[in-house]
Amino acid sequence: MTGARFCRRRFRLRLAGLFLLFFLCTPASAGSGDPWAPFDAPWFDQVGISDGLPHSITTAIAQDRDGLVWIGTMGGLVRYDGYRLQVFGAGSGKVPGLPDAYVRSLLALPDGSLLIGTNAGGLVRFEPADNSFHVYPVGDDGLSDRKVFALGDDHAGGVWIATEDGLDHLDLRTGKIRRVDTGPDAAPRNFSVMQDRHGNLWLGNNGGLFVRRAGTHAFVRPAAPDKPAATVLDNQIWAIMQDREGRLWAGSGQAGAAYRDTDGRWHGVPGFSGYPDSARHATVRDFLQTGTGEIWIATDGGGVLEYAPGEPSVQRIDHDPAVPSSLPGDSVRALLRDRSGNIWAATDLGIAHHNPQARTAFSLLPSPLEQNALSDTNVHSIFVDSRGRIWLGLGAGHIDVIDLKAGRMRHLHLDGSQTQRDVRSLAEAADGSIWVGTQGLARVDPDTLAIEDSVLPALHDKPVLSLQPDGPRLVIGTYDGIYRYDIRTRVLEHAGHVPNDPSSLASDTVRHIAKVGNDWWYGTGRGLSIASGDSLPRSFTNLRHRAGETSSLPQDLIGSISSGPHGQVWVSTFGGLGVADPPADGEAWKFQTIGLAQGLSSDKVNAVLADDQGRLWASLSNGVARIDGDTHEVANLGTRDGLHIASYVNVAAARAPGGELLFGGLGGLTVIRPHWQPLPSATAPLAVTNAVVNGVAMPFGKLPAGNAKIRLDRGNRNLRLDFALLDYQAPMETAYSYRMDGLDEDWTVIPKGNLPSAIYTSLPHGNYRLRLRAATRGLQPHTVETDLAVTVKPRWYETTLSRIVAALLLAALIAALVHLRTLYLGRQAVQLQRQVDERTRDLLVANRRLDELASTDGLTGVYNRRRFLELAGLERERAQGGSACIALFDLDRFKLINDAHGHLAGDAVIRGAIEVIRQHCRQGDLVGRYGGEEFVLCLPDTSLPLARDIAERICAALAATAVNHDGRSIPVTASIGIAALRPGESIEQWLSRADKALYEAKHAGRNRCAVAS
């Protein structure tokens, strides 16, 4: 038996309701064969107002011929492909639509059309050929009433219509409606109608259940000796169904449900038939048989009841406000099992769908309203005791104990200083007591479950990360190394990491302890430490990750340690899984890494467990993976496998008594059923669900399917195709891509979270093949492709004839243009040569000007320092063996001139001084501005006496000159240093001696000359 077998503790229930709830929700472990059944609640994915539903109250569900799901609401009709909702409301003006937005019933027809029964608008047929609505008449030659409660297939090309005021029959071929006489005992109002496989017509009426046997014309009441069943059949009958085995089910307005077995005997549904203690039941709105044979009973206010015929009780599936994945609302008006096996429920808070085949994994979530739910969000540790009970260490001091034999969960809580501390580890001592590692240690009595807090004062302030029994002793892993506590003698021993001692514990952070053969393995924050024989030895063998050595540990942060199917050791690290065979004597451990390159979705591995088939299962930071123990092939679980808890960070894992694997995650507990195999099912189609071709939306009935042809005309070459894999499972995990062969070089991958659509604009003309692809994730991944032929018609100028004509005209035009161009270029060449000559002359003049600007000082017009040094260097080379002198000038107290008269006056003084110097220069002498108020004079072919004479004349002339600026006379004097060139002397050395002479003149009183020695 699948589904939820659990009891809700709702404090808002009345006292009478509590008795009924207890009777309905008896644990089902006795008959189901699955001990996890009381804890395995269906996971519902929901579609609501925020996703685009026009109204939160959904009333009907149907799947059409092409696999699209149609949803009836109180605010309109919705077409859904798993990603997009298209809403059809009441028509207005020129836009035809539904005559009434309140949809009560839906029936998908074999030709792809859809019948819609409305609350006040009668019966409507949606025609996908043109996306139009056809409204059937009411009255003569039409329906008995505008309120249509239910529609039923007559399996012969017609439809039965249950209305407010009678039963009608529609011939789909002719479109004619006739009224059906239901006899004097039946009331006018009919809620449901169904024709069984034997041709009997069953009518759910305001006065009870009626049947018209095949070959007869009268409706009669079926006999039901069973009193609870008879009470049901005499009540208003809102729902009728025939299951695969031939049983007939009837659901009433207030008396619950009953069923007729294949022998014709009627039975009540235990706890949900008749009026126990005069209590009325919620109205039954629909039935559904699951793939494994259970019956789901949709009720108006009581959620869904699941019942396996012959079982002593029903199980309730309802809304839990604390669990977002529960049924969104308890008023369920319709159920549907689609072609992929999903079960859909139309509730008062949106539509919900559940995949019963996603059972390799399931999630046990927290809820304060549920006895068999977790007490806290995060599972930090897991342990299975010798009685088969499963202990879960949670956050904030919570401990949950799962008793699979009893089908229930117990909730414990630490007190005192440990009340808000996470429970990081659990272990069973030799005496059967359960030891709890938290902030220090606590102990739980295995029989009474009484808790003794802080049992070991020496460890009271230490977080206990891991526990492992060692006979009468307990090995304890902390952030402070290893402790070993003898429970009998109360002796506490310790071992830790010793710096610079390679044989000590690898790290004081001991995250996991495992017994591998006769050895003790300690997973630490800095590698593995192995103790041979004794759990607390004097020395350890340490294994660490070594950069560049592929046979070392993948990484040093260790999660868990597990023995594999062939004696291998599997170590989870934050760099991937490490797997190693036991080495021969004297050899080192050699690991093989399984990480991202081998297919893991993350290399942050927290815990690893082996199943009975030799496969390894690992919890990762972003999911769970399965690894083949022989080939090491990796498969990552997905939502299609039932994995809903996405993240795992704790070293929390254990193997349940039945072989299930348990992993603690952020958000709850994940239970893995390694042996589960889903029922075989047909692959869902990858379908085009909307198309805009040539700028026009295509009617649903004309949407292209596999190998269909799409033609784009000459005027509009834009194409948009919305497509989807119509299995309605894990849409966020389905990877979509598309490619236009003949145009695209590679596949266009649709980013995760984007709606799957293929969009092309301005397509070139030609013939193409558009390939659509969907790839699923999980343990049974598969890829589905759909191919479509696309033809783009050429425009008139893209035809072969038009191209030939255009080529000839172009050739003639080119010839004419070449001739004209030749004439034009001849004339242009003459003009161009004149322009070149003129520009050349201008360029020469500009170059000369640039040379002058680059060589002269902008203020004085004499050579700048760079140019002067170049020319003086040439004179030095020419004067080797001859005579040449340099005189270096510095204006005396020039700073005072600037300070007293301003910089403009200073510039005028510099210009005046240069003018005096130039007046005393000969042809061939070089004058330059050396920098600031310093000037330099090179005198080629000049002896030292002559150079001194020239310098003294210049000195005297400067002293006799006054510079006028702004009406003020500024006296000017200069100090001069003279140096004659020495053989082999560089220009720098020559200037340096002149500079020293200049400073001698300065120190001698200024306004004078000095000769370098």
CB-based contacts of 947, cutoff 8 Å, min separation 6: 885, 887, 939, 978, 980
Q: Which pair of structure tokens corresponds to residue 495?
A: 């071992």
Cα–Cα distance between 149 and 23 in angstroms, integer? Answer: 32
Distance, first Cα to last Cα, the chain: 119
Secondary structure of 772-787 in HEC code, one letter for each residue: EEEECCCCCCCEEEEE
Instruction: Give how far Cα 239 sits from Cα of 59, 107, 259, Å.
Output: 13, 15, 11
In terms of Cα–Cα distance, which of 561, 563, 716, 687 is closest to 629?
A: 563
Burial 207-232, CB ≥16 within 10 A → b, else e = bbbbbbeeeeeebebbebebebbbbb
| Distance in angstroms (rounded) separating the CA atoms of residues 895 and 388 | 102
| DSSP letters spanning 595-629 | SGGGT-S-S-EEEEEE-TTSEEEEEETTEEEEEET
- The C-alpha atoms of residue 235 and residue 272 are separated, in whole angstroms, by 13
Nearest to 933 by CA among 900, 971, 972, 970: 972
Strands 541-543 and 592-594: unpaired
Reference 707, options 791, 790, 792, 788; nearest CA is 788
Find how far residue 236's CA is from the centre of its chain: 49
Angle between helices 800-855 and 865-878 (to 10 degrees): 70
The DSSP output letter for 280 is P
Written as six digits, the tokens of 121 are: 């608008």
State whether residue 818 is helix, strand or coil: helix
Write b or e for each residue in 669-678: b if 16 or more Cβ atoms lie within 10 A of its Cβ, otherwise e.
bbbbbbebeb
Bridge-based pairing of strands 884-891 and 974-980 is: antiparallel
Q: What's phi and psi for 958, nearest 5 deg?
A: -65, -40
Residue 483 to residues 434, 468, 477, 505, 641: CA-CA distances in angstroms?
17, 11, 7, 12, 41
Q: Which residues of 245-284 are buried (b: 16+ CB within 10 A; e: fewer)?
A: eebbbbbbbbbbbbbbeeeeebbbbbbbbbeeeeeebbbb
Indicate which residues carry an active-site annotation: 933
Q: What does the angle CA 603 – CA 605 – CA 326 come to, to the nearest 5 degrees?
A: 110
Name the 3-class secondary structure at 292. Answer: coil
Question: How many Å apart are CA 62 and CA 110, to the nearest integer?
Answer: 12
Residue 1003: φ, ψ to 5°: -70, -25
| Strands, sheet with 696-697, edge to edge from the N-terminal-most edge strand | 696-697, 686-693, 719-725, 757-760
